[in-house]
A = this chain, B = another copy of it.
Amino acid sequence: MTPFNKPYLSGKELHYIKEAVSSGHISGNGLFTKKSQAFFENKWGFKKTLLTTSCTDALEMCAMLLDIQPGDEVIIPSYTFVTTALAFVRQGASIVFADSRADHPGINEDDIEGLITPKTKAIVVVHYAGVACDMDKVMVLAHKHQLFVVEDAAQAIDSYYTGKDGIKRPLGSIGHLGTFSFHETKNIQCGEGGLLAINDERFLKRAEIIWEKGTNRAEFFRGEINKYGWVDTGSSFLPSELNAAFLFAQLENLEVIQNRRKEIWQWYNTHVQTLWGSQYDFTTPYIPAYATNNAHMFYLVFKDPEERTRFITDLKSKSINPVFHYLSLHKSDYYKDKHGGRDLLNSDRYTTCLVRLPLYYEMDFRKFT
């Protein structure tokens, strides 16, 4: 069987875990947490990053930092992972779901302004498949309406957006806050893990407090105050050094991993029409000129759900395991009654017609041809 995913291993993960264990410090915020955060800050220029136990937790930190209160509205694409929305719901937000683009599963940037009300507090964009949303459009809107922007860059490590100013910026660094995932299915992974990137300096001090269970412990250990205590909301967001050590071994191999993934992605892009084009009607991923491709995902969008089902069945019979992806959140049991009935037709189309193909470091294509 060619599985959908097989996690990459650099070979140094266990070595670094052993180093962490030998140091006697495997709770959070140790050497490998600092090394992983420094990697993000040095390579991509993030002002400050904090490792978390998941991207969900990083998104919950965003909701706290933006001081989301019951009644505040947050605009989020419907075609995304449950916790993109749930992290804000936990703080009391009302989610206003936006549709996807016709040419890409990312949020339709042109729909956002029509969803803004006096209650809107933030826009959360999701860089689907690691491909950038049109951040110039989003940031102009945010500035005009005084809204915060969170980039859910769960899939978007080492991917970039080139703005109208010609500057190429890493995804996650453009909005006020950005979040990443290191779940096993991601390009760089540690089983379960995430990271918060803080781009707006106003959030720096409070992020550290929220990360440390609502206490000013970090300031205390820097000698800035003489006792520490409970000063804010927060949670236990720090991952153990076991996870951070594993992660750092992967980060050190970023270039090797990315190059191999891009080769595989290109193989698909070159061959899918020849392989399946005569039997199926589908489109391949669209990468706008302002976006790079970090080869997180290769997907096909079929003309109808029946074609997708036929394709999945066909590939499974050849021992290849393609998988579909999100279900429109505005139609979920949890949110459909709160959504208000607006149709989000592209989101529904990706729900029923998109399929992801296997893409991992060690894969070969012998079964495909």
Residues of B within 8 A of A333 (CB): 229-231
- Identical copies in the complex: 2
Of residues 198 to 253 in A, which have CB atoms within 8 Å of B's CB atoms? Answer: 213-215, 227, 229-236, 238-243, 246
Q: Are A184 and B26 in contact (CB under 8 A)?
A: yes
Q: CA of A73 to CA of B243 in the docked complex: distance in angstroms? A: 37
Residue A6 is within 8 A (CB to CB) of chain B in the complex: yes
Residue A170 is within 8 A (CB to CB) of chain B in the complex: no
Q: Name which of A87, A233, A236, A239 has the most chain B CB atoms within 10 A of its CB.
A: A236
Supposing A83-B213, A213-B82, A229-B327 touch, asked if A18 and B14 sit within 8 A by C-beta, the answer is: yes
Contact partner of A242 (CB less than 8 A), chosen from B85, B227, B243, is B243
Give the contact stretch, choosing among A39-47, A100-108, A159-167, A189-197.
A189-197
Q: Are A240 and B86 in contact (CB under 8 A)?
A: no
Interface string of A5-20 (1 = CB under 8 A from B): 0110100011001100
Residue A267 is within 8 A (CB to CB) of chain B in the complex: no
Q: Are A240 and B192 in contact (CB under 8 A)?
A: yes
Q: Are A53 and B56 in contact (CB under 8 A)?
A: no
Contact partner of A86 (CB less than 8 A), chosen from B7, B86, B185, B214, is B214
Residues of B within 8 A of A239 (CB): 53, 192
Instruction: For residue A170, give the distance in angstroms from its CB to the closest CB of chain B.
Output: 24
Residue A365 is within 8 A (CB to CB) of chain B in the complex: no
Interface string of A337-350 (1 = CB under 8 A from B): 00000000000000
Instruction: For residue A61, give the distance in angstroms from its CB to the closest CB of chain B.
Output: 12
Contact partner of A243 (CB less than 8 A), chosen from B231, B243, B329, is B243
Identity of the chain B residue whose Cβ is nearest the Cβ of A235 in the assembled complex: B56
Interface size of A by CB at 8 A reads 59
Residue A60 is within 8 A (CB to CB) of chain B in the complex: yes
Q: Are B57 and A235 in contact (CB under 8 A)?
A: yes
Instruction: For residue A48, give the distance in angstroms from its CB to the closest CB of chain B.
Output: 21
Q: Are B6 and A192 in contact (CB under 8 A)?
A: no
Residues of B within 8 A of A87 (CB): 235
Q: Are B240 and A191 in contact (CB under 8 A)?
A: yes
Q: Are B86 and A235 in contact (CB under 8 A)?
A: yes
Residue A115 is within 8 A (CB to CB) of chain B in the complex: no
Residue A259 is within 8 A (CB to CB) of chain B in the complex: no
Residue A272 is within 8 A (CB to CB) of chain B in the complex: no
Residue A332 is within 8 A (CB to CB) of chain B in the complex: yes
Interface string of A51-63 (1 = CB under 8 A from B): 0011111001000
Excluding A26-B246, A229-B334, A240-B243, 11 further A-B contacts by CB distance (< 8 Å) are: A7-B24, A27-B191, A53-B53, A56-B236, A70-B70, A82-B213, A82-B230, A86-B235, A90-B233, A227-B327, A229-B327
A residues adjacent to B (C-beta < 8 A):
6-7, 9, 13-14, 17-18, 21, 24-28, 53-57, 60, 70, 82-83, 85-87, 89-90, 183-185, 190-193, 213-215, 227, 229-236, 238-243, 246, 327, 329, 332-335
Task: Pick 26 A–B contacts, CB within 8 A, sort by A.
Answer: A6-B24, A7-B26, A13-B21, A14-B14, A14-B17, A14-B21, A25-B184, A26-B246, A27-B183, A27-B184, A53-B53, A53-B239, A56-B235, A56-B236, A57-B235, A85-B230, A86-B213, A87-B235, A90-B90, A90-B233, A191-B242, A192-B239, A230-B329, A230-B332, A230-B334, A242-B246
